[in-house]
Amino acid sequence: MTDESERSSADEQDVTTEPVRAQYEWSSTAPSTAVIETAAIAVNRAPTTLEPLYESLDPDALDILLRPTGSASSDVETVTVSFNFADWQVTVHSRGDVIVRANSDER
């Protein structure tokens, strides 16, 4: 994973209101795991302290939907999945990007 967090290092709050971005290789990290890891960064907590992902969506379905096709063709469609997880809006792209941002109506 490459953490490309958009939050400022000067922000010492437990939870950021800025989007947190991370880049993963789906061949080495499952998308469902990437969502948990990135959300944990956003809330500055251990991944095991977050609510289970399956309460928001089916983690196995997410992994299957975004799994690598093995095709290097530029004609392959990009898949994007967005959903709410706890108080966060999560967007996951088939190219490996995970973006976690606070729901605007929750914060």
Residues in the chain: 107
For residues 81-95, give the mean pLDDT: 93
The reported pTM is 0.77
Confidence of residue 70 (pLDDT cuts 50, 70, 90): low
Q: Quote the CA–CA distance of 55 and 13 in Å, as a whole number.
A: 26
Q: 82 or 103, which is more confident?
A: 82
What's the CA dihedral at 56, 59, 65, 68 to 10 degrees?
Answer: 140
For residues 18-36, give the mean pLDDT: 95
CA angle 84, 89, 90 (to 5 degrees): 90
Task: Examine the pLDDT at 21 and tell me if it is beyond 50.
Answer: yes
Provide the mean pLDDT of the chain. Answer: 82
